Homo-oligomer: A and B are copies of this chain.
Amino acid sequence: MTSTPKDVSHLVGTLDTGTDQPPPDRARPHVGRRAVISREDLMAAALQLVGPHRSISTLSLREIARAAGIAPNSFYRHFRDVDELAVTLINQAGEALRQIIGEARTRAVAERSVVQSSIEAFMEQLRADQKYLHLLLREGTVGSDAFKGAVERQLCFFEEELCTDLQRLAVQRDTGIYRPEVVSRAITRLVFAMGAKAMDQPEEAHPEIIEQLVTMVRMIIIGTQTMAARPARDD
């Protein structure tokens, strides 16, 4: 509800999530009663219900319908069940977030530390209480298979984008990089894990978490560079 910096709630429904209903058939402009509510309204209502104490997988159909101001049965006009809505939301959340982080990353390429900038953009989303992050951070481990799969897929997208970015930077700065796909996966999972931790803590604790996260990522980067230089084994 609060429109804090980098608000992305206006993006709800504007992204093609690849999970759409049959096409609205634009040839025939209209026939029959007009829909008073849209898929996007329902998704927004559901999103509004999730929070620190409510996960999407525990939302009931009636609850969402109530929040959207429609009769329970009207839900079925838009989604087959709550799970389908949840998967669609996850996809949107992933796309929106990747866009934001991607922007932060490219914007920071010339400027300060790429690591620091990306992480701060991420945590800023956290602070702004964007529900999107809740979805990706805390709901990847519970819920239906379809749901968990959707979250995992989005995480993999993050990994892939980060991976190409890391390789590009490695070439550009002529630093070596050992197994970039493992590096990007480690960084992604670490950021999401620490983000989930941060979400359960008061905002005063965030700076320290950010600082630790930056240090962790630096260790991984230096590690991969060192391993690229000398392929020794050590522990």
Chain A interface (Cβ < 8 Å from any Cβ of B): 53, 55, 57-58, 113-116, 137-142, 144-145, 148-149, 152, 175, 178-179, 182-183, 185-186, 189-190, 192-194, 196-197, 200, 212, 215-216, 218-227, 233-235
Q: Which of B145, B179, B197 contacts A215 (CB 8 A)?
A: B179
Q: Which of B142, B145, B175, B223 contacts A55 (CB 8 A)?
A: B142
Nearest CB of chain B from residue A135's CB, rounded to whole Å: 11
- Copies of this chain, tallied across the complex: 2
New A-B contacts (19) at CB < 8 Å, excluding given A148-B200, A222-B226, A222-B227:
A114-B235, A115-B235, A116-B235, A137-B141, A138-B141, A140-B141, A152-B197, A175-B234, A182-B215, A182-B216, A186-B220, A192-B193, A218-B223, A219-B220, A219-B223, A219-B227, A220-B223, A221-B223, A225-B234
